[in-house]
Structure 1
Amino acid sequence: MNQSLKAMIDASRDVHIPIPIDESETAEARLLKKPVLKNRLLDDMESLDHWQLITSYSISVPEPLADPNDLSDREEITPAPTMELSSERCVCGSHSLKFTHPTNLDHQIECRKGRIYAQPSVKRVFDREDWSEFNRLSVWIYPIAPGMKSITLRMQLHNDGVRKMPEKWERDGAHNMSLKANQWNHAVLEMPYLDRDCVTGVSFDYDMVGHENDAVDHVTWYIDKLELQTVKCDVYEGWIPADDRISYSHKGYQPGSDKLAIASGIDADTFKLIETKTGKVVLEKEILTVDAKIGTLQMMDFTELCEEGEYILVAGNLSTRVFAISEDVWESSVWKVLNFFLVLRCGYEVPGKHRACHSDMLMVHDGKAIVANGGWHDAADLAQGFINTAEATAALFSLAGALKKDGSNNRLFLRVLEEAKWGLDYVLKMRFPGGYRATYSSSSIWTDGVIGTSDDITMEPSRSALANFDAAYAELLGYELFKDIDPDYAAYALKIAKDDFYWGVDITCEKQKENESQTGEDRKIVEAMFEDGISVDVKIISAGVLASSLLFTATQEASYVQAAEEFSDLLLTCQQQEFTDWDVPMVGFFYEDTNRDLIAHYNHMAYSYMPELALKTLCETFPDSDRYMKWYSALTLSGAYYKKIASYTSPYGVIPAGVYHEDEAKNMPEKVFATHPMVGAECTDGYAPQVREGFPLGKGYYLRVYPVWFSFRGNYNVILSATKAMTSVASYCNDYDLYVASQHNYEWILGKNPMAQSTMVGEGYDFIQHYTVQPGQTTGSITVGMESHYEKDVPYWPQVNTATYKEVWVCSATKWMWCMADSLLPARLSGYLRVIPGGVLTCTNVVSQKAYTVVPHVRTGYYELTLPAGTYRMQYESEEKTITVVSGKQYAIDGPLCDVSASAVRSGKDVTITINVTASYDLPVTIRTDNISGLESSYTVSVENGKGTLVLHAVLENEQKPFVGLVLPNGNLDERVAFTDDRI
């Protein structure tokens, strides 16, 4: 841990006090320093002639307030904003515009209860002006809002030209500004991407969501010097970085991963890496020009540099900031995302952010009520999504488990465990008997905390198989970690997990097949619940696998083995295991359900990690199952799919959203649009044009980098869900290439993107404001993610700050932490070797040639070694072994060392397998395969002069499906060596 990170953790008391933001590192600070090339003063606030005072509702007011002309009906609930010229404070001239309005209403509009219920605003009107020659708006704002910890005002551009603004989905022109109280804020908005050919106004809008009890009930804004400007704008769209910036991972790179930086327009042939500690040039290499699928780019590859340290990259007249090459390069992000979780806690006082909140939010069922605060707020609003909190709890417990097993960072382990318990407490309480659980509370408002007043928010629970399975999985992870710390708490978590799993199965049965003949304990764990032709959602199946597998681990009850196996059979039917007949054959992806008529892809909420996490859990829990190779093969095929689609965005390598068919919305609109919030079949005509912007694969299929989407946009939950799938496969299958591919996604989020901006606040630099209405700008926040503009399929990250793509979401932070459970820590190698006095075990990286050494214990031969990801040659006296390791995994290698490699060649249906051995003895091996036959289960490789070769002949069972096999030296599954079909 470096000293700056340690100081930050100490100052925040292990992130129990929110971590401040270094304002000098924000993109806003840089934007304000840009030279203004041209300007036009729009209004100096010396007259109100062109200003309108507006009070608007988000939707039409229901009866009895339906008549907009009936002011007597509206007086009670209509805010009373005022607008006037003021000489109290100004930036230019002698006046500013003073805009004052309430922050709450006595009576919320019932059909908007819990959401934004009014939008008082002031609007500067323009007479259909063409602003095309200018590309930036500038304004000065002075807020007065005592007690308000987050102050936000929206600047909205209104355009009545070819493309109107605001438009249906409010995707453009709405710029939400986080402002500081009691001072002038200079806000600028670069807008080269906004339609401004027929401007009718600029408004300043406030979203009314109430206030905390100790805050004022009116806010005053002073607005001055509204101006048009022209500047050199940032890159906001496409794959090509600006010619004055280098795209790289701001925090740095793990030593064992690829290390790439990307640019365009550098006038130099070579680049240099300079070690900051010594000022020494440690590497000089050629700048490569890469003609990639996404365009022509300059690439600087310094993968071979594995020495830990801090560096600067210099190319021509450009240079990067300091970045690290370090195994713990992602640790600071974990602490900062923990900070984001702290700030999003519901029902908890977060210093400087909010009081303990929502004690009058209730879940009501059958005449009973539960106070529904706890867990984490969902997003920039104050909603609470149960699935999100359950997932976050599972993610944090997974990370805590990895930290506990590693044992090298107890401080972080304890803090992650504490945050996970905060989530588990909520998961355990939010339930009623019979499988009734919380799902979602629609809350964007601060409430008064008094049960029985008009702002109370109530929710009805529902019976959801996914909610119950997710709850059981989180509870079981908590059980495992707390059984030795707090046995009573752990026992309760296990009890509730059993009940939740039972109701998850019962609900699924109920939805699939009416069966009232069996009830209670006589009902099978998974009975004949899935009839032919009835679809079952792949995420529900996966969640069932996860819960049943962990229940077996906790209880050793055979009924859970049966459940896990039945669920796993269904899961495998959801995967494409045969090569498609497209121009670009694909294999390994999953369908949405057992009907296999729609490929799984996600547009905001994302569950793509679930099948792979489920398959990994099955392999770990039931290694002796006769289904094991089917699970392992499915993982291998999934890994091949992710590696293939990641290649389309090289050299960035950010993972695409997935495969779409151009006619899927036309053929099954109800199914397709079920995952698109706030839209339906009316968007069918707009679906195919988006699909066709992707990479063509043939037969009407396309690979989209960005999802097809309409209302909700932003893809970090999509990217990080896929990354969790990738790390699950990379970890279990020991797939180094997939490990590298997963690293590129973290690097993208932290700066190695075309905009060369970190997109996590407080990590790296040049981070832009996020849409954070209630929590305020927060260190460690992750947004919904980058979007694509309209039908395009290229990155789009403009300055304009609006929901949903720039909105902070707990689900994106959840996936970051879940990925870190696999990626945060280095690989650890340990075992027992024969005792040789003075013997030294040496592991030499085959790429960097860096050697890592350890002396085994003089009596036991035990050794431990930490290694960066990569392939190594192990040597211990005359014994040798080649191993590949990936970060976050622990390897047990005992002596005597023997080297085993396996390869396979296919000719039609004939498969020839060659096993090569370097050992000091005849080596017994066990063979496990999927989709090939004709082999025995075990063989012995004869060794002469330290070498041995065994050639086996087998038959491919299904020519359209890749085969996968494992060689187990001495029958040891932990040292398995894979061989696969050359088509993947």
Structure 2
Amino acid sequence: MRDFKQDLKATGYIHRPLPLDNSRSFEKQQLERENITERRPLTKSFQSWQQRGRGEIHKTDATVTLLSPTRYDSWEEGAPEDGDYVNFGDVGAYLSIPREDWSAFTQIKLDISADCINVVNPNLTITLENDGEIKIPDIYNREGTHVINLEGQAKRTYVLDISNLPRDVVTGIRIFSGANGSYMNLTGQLSYTVSDLYLEKNEQFTSAKGWQAPKNQIVFSHIGYHPEYSKTAIINREDFSATTFELKTEDQIVFQSEIQETKAETGTFGLLDFSEVKEPGTYYLQINDTKTPEFQIGTVSNLKAHSLWKSLNFIFCERCGCPVHGIHGTCHEDLTVEYKGSLVSFNGGWHDAGDLSQQLVQTAEVTSSLFEAAETVKDQPELYLRLIEEGEWGIDFILKTRLDGGDRVTSAGITRWTDNRIGTMDDAVPRIHNSPYDNFLITGLLAKIIKSLPKDYAMRPQLLQVVKEDYQYALAGFEMTGFKHEPIFWEHTYNTSKSLFLATMAWTAALMYQLTIEDNYQEQMTEWFESLLECQEQEGLQLTDGTVLKGMFYRDETHNVFQHFNHQAREHLYALAFEEVFAASTNQEQVANWQERANDYGDYLDYLGQFTDPYPMYASGIYKEDEWQDKESFYKQHLLVDEEAETSYQEQLKQGIQIGEGLYIKRFPVWFSFRGNNGILLSMGKSAAVMGRLLDRQKLLDKGHQQLQWMVGKNPFGQSMIYGEGYNYPQQYSVSSGEIIGEMPVGMQTFGNEDQPYWPQFNNATYKEVWVGIAGKWLSLVAELIKYEKGD
């Protein structure tokens, strides 16, 4: 195990990437545990493989080699003429398979070596095709594709678990890699050699679907437990004959109790409850010979200290326009757009995800989270200063993308390393919008940053001038267009509802009032907040079990469609609106009335917390069975879908839990192409923590903390979703920059129309795509919990 503190110092406190640590990775354990009972070559000779795409392939009986330049002077056939969101093409090899049934096999094993030159992150992608009852790839081209980020270029063995993939009528397998540009535009070459390709049956394959705990394992929180919050672990009761468990430290039993049997909608489980243990320290759980690795009981500040550094490391490694040691040089200097006769540069901030796209709103939200986290760790000067420094990189991008009168350069769809030369064919043209919503949101994010800064902060006067100007631009735009919000669907705020618009405006106005003490902000805040509450369920819906449910928000005051999120998630803005409006209001009678609405919202969050017991994951929300009939709302919420999605909506809803006439709870969202719920959980966790602190409700704070636990081990697969944090963390879809310590994916998905967790080794977008927005939300939720812990 690496010494984290030494690694941290060696990076200059994250001025170069933390070294990769795969000692606890899923892939390492996968090879160590395997028990192969059947094996056969996938092909007798590689001579039967066919070339697909660009470049060339060289074949022998024992190998196939993929060769290609890293860039071309033209786009691949079928690509958009402007090169939006494409690379230079793929080089690949394809094997046609005569409709074979692979159901008896659980994994594919192959050896890969590389001889790449100036390639940023050598990687190879595998796609499996199935023409059986369930088609692979699926209609969204997500299922059945996996990217292997190579561990160096030397020959290594890699394994791909296919045990949960439909494979009853396999028709083909494709191996390919993308020509994606090269390091600093130096002449580059892709060269990958595949050999020893086998189908195998591994008796130790990993379940990737459902709620039941992994066989003979104890599911626990790898990032530990807070002394004052609940502390549980989970087992499959059928795997253990013992009736008791032990909590130990250094082989000394400190607590022993019965294993409780708990029955829930998700199944029957064994529950190990040690909530009464409050003494900080290092512990492990044991049942007979089965032990967990060590974990801690301690404060949020202590438990999350390493994760804050690791989140910061991931964000830093995604910097755009800045050389990152060992990953890439200065990049994307040719992302420019013409504006009023001049050229505006758009590199900076952070790459959005596993690809290289750039989103202003995403960078702005991450920037705010960095300053928010910094405010809570002033007692740790190295971390405090480094968070501020990284946040200033984000502020620079927010300021450089401001144009005139509320115009902003907002986004660029890009998934390649460009040549940095303005005017060549590989340039990408960013988009420009004047969106009142985006202007209100970014103004609020900057205002929140200013509120946290010391009075003598060098840029504070300039930032205050910016938010005053931008607020007026947002207001002027809103007075012209109202709640109409029509940027193209690639913008990260496309799914914004009227109620979320109102929450954002009220929150921003409340912050502006606190910064300026100018009455007009307070008046606007009050008007918008009152309108927001008209979008909240106040009377209550009668449920089948007699519960009266209220407190949740609808998308608007008509109460036709509930507010829920399926990818982009800003649930926390409702809670932040309550918090800042309470702080900015001088009418105590009014605040007392609003307090009731806040408690109703807290009750709704409490209600959603029960449906995945004994796991801590929040259910995604309440749905009406006829929401799909509101076509304008439906197609705003769900991108890249056709009319088939309307039928799928109804099928997905029936997989949820009916709680009343025409009303359902979905544990996972209704979703289609864009799947993964970490952003949703962290946003809901932030809401719970804010409301818990605001209303002094410990249960909400506990639930907020538990969303972090879900991401790091306390889930049905016992896996950490943060690379390098905890145990059993898998490779993710980080295809452009490679594996990064602290990277976090979009989140766990479902298979097809089901409503149970699905987490295969396959790491395609979007569910396993790394996303800086998740790291930002992690920082924000941790900061909220630390804030309460310190009594702020």
- Shared fold (TM-score greater than 0.5)? yes
Match of 2:769 in 1: 807
Q: Does 1:326 align with 2:228?
A: no
| Structure-2 separation of matches of 1:623 and 1:4 | 52
Note the C-alpha offset of 1:747.
Answer: 0.7
Q: Equivalent residue of 1:220, what SS? A: strand
Q: Does 1:162 align with 2:133?
A: yes
Q: Equivalent residue of 1:138, what SS? A: strand
Q: Which residue of 135, 138, 144 corresponds with 1:173?
A: 144
Q: Which residue of 179, 204, 208 corresponds with 2:175?
A: 204
Q: Equivalent residue of 1:43, what SS? A: coil
| Structure-1 separation of matches of 2:372 and 2:597 | 22
Contact 1:669-1:681 at 8 Å conserved across structures: no
1:715 partner amino acid: N
Q: Equivalent residue of 1:229, what SS? A: strand
Q: Which residue of 219, 228, 231 corresponds with 1:247?
A: 219
**Which moved further from structure 2: 579-588 or 505-514?**
505-514
Match of 2:445 in 1: 474
Q: Which residue of 304, 317, 341 corresponds with 2:289?
A: 317
Q: Equivalent residue of 1:360, what SS? A: coil
Question: Counterparts of 1:100-119 in structure 2 under 5 Å?
Answer: 100-108=67-75, 109=79, 110-119=81-90
| Structure-2 separation of matches of 1:388 and 1:214 | 27
What are the superposed Cα offsets for residues 431-485 of structure 1, whole Å, 9 maximum, x if unpaired? 2111111222111111111111111111231111221112212222332344534
Note the C-alpha offset of 1:227.
Answer: 0.5
Contact 1:142-1:185 at 8 Å conserved across structures: yes
Match of 1:52 in 2: 50
2:726 partner amino acid: G
Q: Does 1:889 align with 2:791?
A: yes
Contact 1:143-1:180 at 8 Å conserved across structures: no
Match of 2:515 in 1: 554
Q: Does 1:542 align with 2:542?
A: no
What are the superposed Cα offsets for residues 126-159 of structure 1, whole Å, 9 maximum, x if unpaired? 1111111111111111112122231121111111
What are the superposed Cα offsets for residues 467-518 of structure 1, whole Å, 9 maximum, x if unpaired? 111221222233234453434x11111111111111112222211399xxxx
Note the C-alpha offset of 1:594.
Answer: 3.1
Greater fraction of residues in helix? 2
Note the C-alpha offset of 1:84.
Answer: 2.5
2:20 partner amino acid: I
What are the superposed Cα offsets for residues 758-815 of structure 1, whole Å, 9 maximum, x if unpaired? 1110000110000001121011111000001111111111111111100001111111
Match of 1:299 in 2: 271
| Structure-2 separation of matches of 1:185 and 1:117 | 27
Q: Equivalent residue of 2:367, what SS? A: helix
After the TM superposition, which parts of structure 1 deviate over 6 Å for at least 4 consecutive aligned residues?
A: none
CA spacing shift, 1:536–1:255, aligned 2, 3 Å: closer
Q: Which residue of 494, 511, 526 corresponds with 2:481?
A: 511
Q: Does 1:622 align with 2:585?
A: yes
> Unpaired runs of 5+ in structure 1?
56-78, 86-93, 515-534, 826-885, 891-984
Match of 1:150 in 2: 121
Contact 1:161-1:195 at 8 Å conserved across structures: yes
Note the C-alpha offset of 1:688.
Answer: 0.5
| Structure-2 separation of matches of 1:702 and 1:340 | 37
2:457 partner amino acid: D
Match of 1:364 in 2: 338
What are the superposed Cα offsets for residues 664-696 of structure 1, whole Å, 9 maximum, x if unpaired? 11x212211212121143411111010111111
| Structure-2 separation of matches of 1:380 and 1:888 | 35
Question: Counterparts of 1:429-444 in structure 2 under 5 Å?
Answer: 429-444=400-415
Structure ID, larger Rg: 1
Match of 2:231 in 1: 259
Match of 2:16 in 1: 17
> Unpaired runs of 5+ in structure 2?
485-495
Contact 1:750-1:757 at 8 Å conserved across structures: yes
Q: Equivalent residue of 2:124, what SS? A: strand
Q: Does 1:99 align with 2:99?
A: no
CA spacing shift, 1:144–1:513, aligned 2, 3 Å: closer
Note the C-alpha offset of 1:262.
Answer: 0.3
Contact 1:421-1:478 at 8 Å conserved across structures: no
Q: Equivalent residue of 2:91, what SS? A: strand
2:41 partner amino acid: L
1:15 partner amino acid: I
Contact 2:184-2:331 at 8 Å conserved across structures: no
Note the C-alpha offset of 1:625.
Answer: 4.3
| Structure-2 separation of matches of 1:379 and 1:594 | 35
Contact 2:498-2:555 at 8 Å conserved across structures: yes
Note the C-alpha offset of 1:22.
Answer: 1.5
CA spacing shift, 1:82–1:39, aligned 2, 3 Å: closer
Contact 1:115-1:444 at 8 Å conserved across structures: yes
Contact 1:380-1:772 at 8 Å conserved across structures: yes
Q: Equivalent residue of 2:764, what SS? A: coil
Q: Which residue of 312, 331, 335 corresponds with 1:338?
A: 312
Note the C-alpha offset of 1:355.
Answer: 1.0
Contact 2:608-2:620 at 8 Å conserved across structures: no
| Structure-1 separation of matches of 2:706 and 2:15 | 31
What are the superposed Cα offsets for residues 933-971 of structure 1, whole Å, 9 maximum, x if unpaired? xxxxxxxxxxxxxxxxxxxxxxxxxxxxxxxxxxxxxxx
Across the two proteins, how many residue pairs are aligned to each other?
769
Match of 2:37 in 1: 37
Contact 1:483-1:491 at 8 Å conserved across structures: no
| Structure-1 separation of matches of 2:98 and 2:729 | 36
Note the C-alpha offset of 1:215.
Answer: 4.6
Q: Does 1:496 align with 2:466?
A: yes
Q: Equivalent residue of 1:32, what SS? A: helix
Match of 2:491 in 1: none
What are the superposed Cα offsets for residues 901-926 of structure 1, whole Å, 9 maximum, x if unpaired? xxxxxxxxxxxxxxxxxxxxxxxxxx
| Structure-1 separation of matches of 2:640 and 2:749 | 18
| Structure-2 separation of matches of 1:366 and 1:236 | 53
| Structure-1 separation of matches of 2:441 and 2:71 | 37
Contact 2:119-2:190 at 8 Å conserved across structures: no
Question: Counterparts of 1:388-427 in structure 2 under 5 Å?
Answer: 388-404=362-378, 408-427=379-398
Contact 2:131-2:169 at 8 Å conserved across structures: yes
Contact 2:568-2:679 at 8 Å conserved across structures: yes
| Structure-2 separation of matches of 1:127 and 1:680 | 32
Note the C-alpha offset of 1:214.
Answer: 5.0
| Structure-1 separation of matches of 2:85 and 2:716 | 38
Q: Does 1:582 align with 2:543?
A: yes
CA spacing shift, 1:306–1:8, aligned 2, 3 Å: farther
Q: Does 1:608 align with 2:571?
A: yes
Match of 1:375 in 2: 349
Note the C-alpha offset of 1:369.
Answer: 2.4
| Structure-1 separation of matches of 2:88 and 2:522 | 51
Contact 1:386-1:467 at 8 Å conserved across structures: no
Q: Does 1:684 align with 2:651?
A: no
Note the C-alpha offset of 1:320.
Answer: 0.2
Match of 1:951 in 2: none
Q: Percent identity?
A: 30
Greater fraction of residues in strand? 1
1:752 partner amino acid: K
Structure of higher RCO (CA pairs closer than 8 Å, 6+ residues apart): 2
Contact 2:222-2:712 at 8 Å conserved across structures: yes
CA spacing shift, 1:556–1:240, aligned 2, 3 Å: same
Match of 2:617 in 1: 654
Note the C-alpha offset of 1:105.
Answer: 1.5
CA spacing shift, 1:356–1:627, aligned 2, 3 Å: farther
Q: Equivalent residue of 2:23, what SS? A: helix
1:37 partner amino acid: T
Match of 1:458 in 2: 429
